[in-house]
């Protein structure tokens, strides 16, 4: 009986302490609201201006992604055979598979990689392999890349080619 009484007292004390903490939190929140109302209008305007560019920056990447998707001039889906990567020693197979993807896309998307010395030095078109493709190749480790992979290669107006994982993969 005495143990039960002591346990009940401890529980009631803990509940009382928790209620006090909650009431203190409410008063702290009320004080913050009061202080926020008392701030001069100039300071709040500056805070809003600082917050606005941050929101714009967050909105920009989504706009950029949409623009990038719209800028693609040519888009093709390929199944790239990677079986010959398995001829290499086990610890060199996944890197070889990535090299094979680069070579395949460069050849089939007609990506001009070399510029003659006589021509003006312009920016070379880039080949970008997305993280999804990289993760698919490296997914089972360095020793066991896939035998083949379906990719979507998209060329933009500047000649840059981006390789994405094909839909449904």
Question: In this structure, what CATH number is given to the domain that contains residue 93?
Answer: 3.10.440.10
79 and 62 in a common domain: no
**Among 18, 33, 67, which residue terminates a domain?**
67
The fraction of the chain above a pLDDT of 90, given in percent, is 43
Rounded to whole angstroms, how far apart are CA atoms 90 and 33? 63
Total structural domains within the chain: 2
62 and 79 in a common domain: no
57 and 42 in a common domain: yes
Residue 119 pLDDT exceeds 50: yes
Nearest to 128 by CA among 149, 101, 93, 150: 101
Q: Give residue 39's domain range.
A: 2-67
Rounded to whole angstroms, how far apart are CA atoms 78 and 153? 8
76 and 63 in a common domain: no
89 and 26 in a common domain: no
Rounded to whole angstroms, how far apart are CA atoms 5 and 14? 14
90 in Cβ contact with 143 (< 8 Å): yes
93 and 61 in a common domain: no
76 and 158 in a common domain: yes
pLDDT digits (tens, 9 = 90+) for 16-74: 666 666 555 556 666 566 656 655 554 544 545 554 444 444 445 555 555 545 578 88
45 and 61 in a common domain: yes
Nearest to 97 by CA among 55, 56, 133: 133
Of residues 167 and 62, more confidently modeled? 167
State the chain's mean pLDDT as an integer: 76
157 in Cβ contact with 71 (< 8 Å): yes
């Amino acid at each position: 009986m005495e143990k039960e009484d002591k346990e009940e007292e401890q529980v009631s004390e803990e509940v009382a302490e928790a209620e006090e903490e909650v009431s203190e939190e409410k008063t702290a929140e009320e004080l913050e609201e009061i202080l926020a109302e008392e701030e001069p209008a100039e300071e709040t305007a500056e805070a809003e201006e600082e917050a606005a560019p941050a929101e714009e920056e967050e909105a920009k990447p989504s706009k950029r992604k949409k623009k990038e998707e719209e800028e693609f001039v040519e888009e093709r889906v390929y199944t790239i055979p990677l079986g010959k990567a398995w001829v290499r020693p086990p610890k060199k197979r996944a890197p070889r598979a990535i090299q094979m993807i680069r070579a395949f896309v460069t050849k089939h998307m007609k990506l001009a990689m070399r510029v003659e010395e006589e021509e003006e030095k312009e920016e070379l078109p880039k080949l970008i392999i997305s993280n999804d493709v990289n993760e698919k190749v490296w997914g089972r480790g360095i020793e066991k890349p896939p035998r083949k992979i379906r990719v979507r290669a998209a060329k933009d107006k500047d000649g840059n080619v981006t390789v994405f994982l094909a839909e449904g993969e």
